[in-house]
Structure formats: structure tokens, C-alpha cells
Chain A
């Protein structure tokens, strides 16, 4: 069971503003999904290695060669608030 307080904590970590109704619904829905997910607990996973990727390769790297960067206009083309050749944001210090 995920309670309201946990929902708010997780929403804060994920930077999602939820209204009261969403918090209620999220609490119920996440709880029921997690109930199902917890059926995994039946399995004996002792000594089983985790799989975080299925590709069986290592050391795939690139040479340290310069590739073309985007022209600055293109880099800033999608910016919600471009200013002085940069991306402007509300100050984190405010």
C-alpha cells in the first residue's frame, strides 16, 4: 500500500505536481499494480545474477575524434526561453 505521504514524496522526486484527486488516485492505482508486481516474491532468486541489458558485448567505444556540433541557432531553436545565446531558466538560487 502506497499512502498519500509516499505518493507526495515520490512525486517530488519526479518533479510532478499532483493535485489532490491525482494523489488519491495514484495511491490506489500504484498500490494495486504493486500488489500484482509483488507476486515476484514467490520466486527463488537466490544466487541469480541480475540482467540489466541483454546485449552480450563489451568495450564498444568511439575514437576521440571531433564531430560537428550543432550551429548555435539549431541548438537553441527548441528552447522555451533562449537569451544571450543560452538557455534561460528561473534561478535555482531564488
Chain B
């Protein structure tokens, strides 16, 4: 049997993000998640005869923010188009969107290039309700137009992703970036961030793109990863059995792990895009764009670079901190409180011990525990300066996480400071004296014998001594 070639997945993402404006994209109706159905509608967002759209300037501003954060070019003049299709959640039977001249184009976030980002309006909410009253025995749906007309930014990536975990990780970066811009709450459960995946495979080494399928609305990061993985497997299986992948839209069912084809009976789409005559072009001035650029906060991707290059953090630690705004600011506060402690040491405490301790204590997020940043910085300093052992440091941190307090006082109260550097040296000296045989064996190169001496140290310190430090002191005092 000839060996089948290896296939490489090629993944692009299309992300719709609801912008957190007060009002809808083209009318003054208030945006409110979870309101009673159809209580936030007007002639414009119900598509009544004669009603005309009016662009929300805040939404445009947010789109520019997003575009700049993604390194996009902001079009000096962009226009809206009508995208025509019939569906009950689309009240005008056309969606006002952008087509050949989007407001943002080109760009990059992390390792993934951005193709474009454009403004459009969201569809209404459609709920399947089973049997309808009027026509007995047939299925019906209910339309709630509250959500209809919410401003959306649609971000389209280049097909630069090559594995499902990478897709998930990149989407996390995007979400953090958008969250930190303050333009959306990017909540997948409430639908304010929705991701579709375009998936194809090609023989490794090939530059051509295979036929892609579209995975719709995967509503969590986990499902996104699993859905894409399942689709890659499906495509590989098709190709392995000599078949051809067909272009279609698929829905991933996380419960069964299966993929089902949507719109199979529908004929090919023909959206008949044309320029929206009811709206005028968007033409932000270069000065305005620069003003917006100047107002952007430091974003995760830049912060990660800074952590690596300026603070010397490892790529993993840098990413862990930078992609989590709350953790990053907690970390930076801790570093600022302890200017004499190496930021790498502080990073290890924050990303390691603090994350573990807060999980242990049942907190949602490490920055939400009772421990403040200065306290965690102090723990790092105390351990680093050998005021307390690593084990005592852990114990101190656990107490701060659970109940807070001043680290010096807490460690005093818990009796953690007794094993400071000098004391430990004295205890080690006494232990060597108490175990002369073991000391001799260690000197003679029998490393295992050190256990007996450490045992004494631990007994004396009630286990609080740092084992590594004790070992170092024993060897030092034995002249090794």
C-alpha cells in the first residue's frame, strides 16, 4: 500500500463582535441583553416602510479602535453596501454591511494576519417554538427584534492558522485585545463574540489552498477547538478514501461531536450587494485616526513583547501574563512595589504559586483573591532574600489569598520567620554535629546520606525549612 501524504490543516477565522454602544447601529433603540422581547424596537430596526438608517458615530469610533489595535489600515473613505437575503431575523431583507471598501483592511495580531474588519448590523433573535397556532401541526419560530441592529464588527483573518489549539489560543488573544479596548464585553455565552472557522487541508509542502468548509457559530473556545479538530479529521478521512471535500457550511454539535451540513437544500447564495443609497461615506480624517491611535491602551501582543524583551520573562510566562489584563496589571503592580526583586522572580510567583493558590481557594481569578499585589511582591522578596523558606512562602501566600493582611505581620503571627537565613545555618550546623556518620559519608561522596541530616533540619524547623536551601548549607558547611 502506498503511503498517503501527510496533510496540513489551513484555518482562517471570521469573528463577529457586538460593539458595546448604548444604542443600535442605525437607530436610537437602547441595547439591553435579556430585555422582554420586542421592547427595544422602532420603525428603523423593524424595517418599516419609509424608515431610514442613521449611523451611530460611536460604533464607527469603536471600529477604528479595533482596526488600529489589529494594525489595520483605516480607509480614508469607506461605504456601506446592502447584502440582500430573505430571513425572518433580517427585517429589511437586506443587511447593511460593508463590502468592497471596508473601514479596516490589512493588519496582524500575533502570528495571524488580518484580512479585513468591517462594520455591519446584527440580525434579530429567532426562537424555534414547535407547533404554530394558525397552521395546525406545523413548526413555527418567534422573532424578537431587540438584538436586531446591534453594531457588529466582523473580523476576517488570513488562513494563517494550522492547528485547532492555535486557533483557540489566537482567539483568546483577540478576545483579550478587544476586551482591553473597551469596545465589547466579548462574551461567547451571550453571543457578543461569535466565531466561524474556514477549514481546509492540503498536502504538506503545497502552497495551494484546498476546498474549504465553513463551521458556523461555535459558541465556546473549547467547542471551537474541538469543532475544527473534528472537521480536519473528517476532511482527512474523505481524502484518504479517495473522495473530495465539498464546499459547504457545517454545524458542530458538541454533544455528539458530529458535524452536520446546513442549508443543504438552499441554492447557492447570491447576495446582490450594491452600495447603500441611504447612507453617506465614512471618511475619518487622518488627524482623527491619529487621535484614536494615541488613546489606545497597551495591548496584549505588545505587552508580551515588552515582558520578554525588557523584563526577560520566558515566552510562556510573558504570554500568560500579557493575555490576561487583570493578571498583567496585578503583576506590574507587584513588580513596582518591589523594585529590588527580579521581575522574573515575581512573575514566577504570580503565574505559579498565586495561580495555584487562588485555584485551590476557589477564586475565579488570581487577581480577585484577598492578597494584594504588593503582598505577593513581598512574599517573592522574602523568599528570594532568604528571609523565609520557599515552603513558608507558600504557606504565607495561601494565608494572604484566603484572608489577606500584611505579609510581615502574617508571617510573624504564623511563626514563619524563625527559619531565616542565619537560623537555618545554625540548625544545619547542629544537625551535622548530631549526625557525624552521615556527614562523613556525604563528604566521602555518598550523596544519599545527606537525607539523615536534612531529616534533623526538618524536625527542628517543623518542616518549614527549604529543602534545597538546607542541602546547599549542609554542603557548604561540609566544605563541598
Contact = CB atoms under 8 A, between A and B. Distances in A.
Query: Is there direct touching of A and B in the complex, by C-beta distance under 8 Å?
Result: yes
Nearest to B59: A64
Interface string A47-89: 0000011010111111111111110100110000101111111
B28 interface: yes
Contacts of A92: 87-88, 126, 141
A12 interface: yes
Contact of B57 (A15, A52, A61, A75): A61
A65 to B, nearest CB: 6
Interface of B: 21-23, 27-30, 36-43, 46, 54-60, 77, 79, 86-88, 126-129, 132-135, 138-145, 267, 270, 272, 274-275, 277, 280-284
A62 B55 CA distance: 6
Contacts of B135: 90
Given A70-B41, A70-B42, A87 B22 contact: no
Given A66-B23, A86-B144, A90-B132, 13 more contacts: A13-B272, A58-B282, A60-B280, A61-B54, A62-B55, A65-B23, A72-B36, A72-B37, A85-B144, A86-B127, A87-B38, A90-B141, A93-B128
B38, B55, B58, B127 — most chain A CB neighbours (10 Å): B38
A62 B267 contact: no
A94 interface: yes
A87 B275 contact: no
A71 B267 CA distance: 39
Contacts, number: 136
Nearest to B30: A66
A66 B141 CA distance: 29
Contact of A84 (B27, B37, B274, B283): B37
B141 to A, nearest CB: 5
A91 B129 CA distance: 8
Contact of B277 (A52, A67, A69, A90): A52
A76 B38 contact: yes
A84 B37 CA distance: 8
Contacts of B27: 67
A75 B35 CA distance: 15
Contacts of B41: 69-70, 75
Given A69-B30, A89-B88, A89-B141, A64 B22 contact: yes
A89 B126 CA distance: 10
Contacts of A88: 129, 132-134, 140-143
Contact of A55 (B37, B40, B59, B280): B280
Contact of A86 (B79, B143, B280): B143
Interface string A8-30: 00001101000000000000000
Given A81-B134, A84-B142, A93-B139, A58 B283 contact: yes
Contacts of B142: 83-84, 86-89
A58 B57 contact: no
A52 B77 CA distance: 14
A90 B138 contact: yes
A64 B128 contact: no
Contacts of A68: 28, 42
Given A87-B88, A88-B140, A57 B280 contact: yes
B140 A90 contact: yes
A52 B55 contact: no
A66 B36 CA distance: 17
B139 A52 contact: no
B279 to A, nearest CB: 8
A53 B280 contact: yes
Nearest to B26: A62
Nearest to A13: B270
A83 B132 CA distance: 9
Interface centre among B27, B42, B60 (most CB of A within 10 A): B42
9 contacts: A52-B79, A52-B275, A59-B280, A64-B21, A64-B59, A68-B42, A87-B88, A89-B142, A92-B88
A58 B42 contact: no
Contacts of B59: 64
A63 B28 CA distance: 9
A3 B377 CA distance: 79
B62 to A, nearest CB: 10
A75 B46 CA distance: 8
B54 A62 contact: yes
Nearest to B29: A69
Contacts of B28: 62, 65-68
Contact of A85 (B38, B129, B280, B282): B38
A25 to B, nearest CB: 23
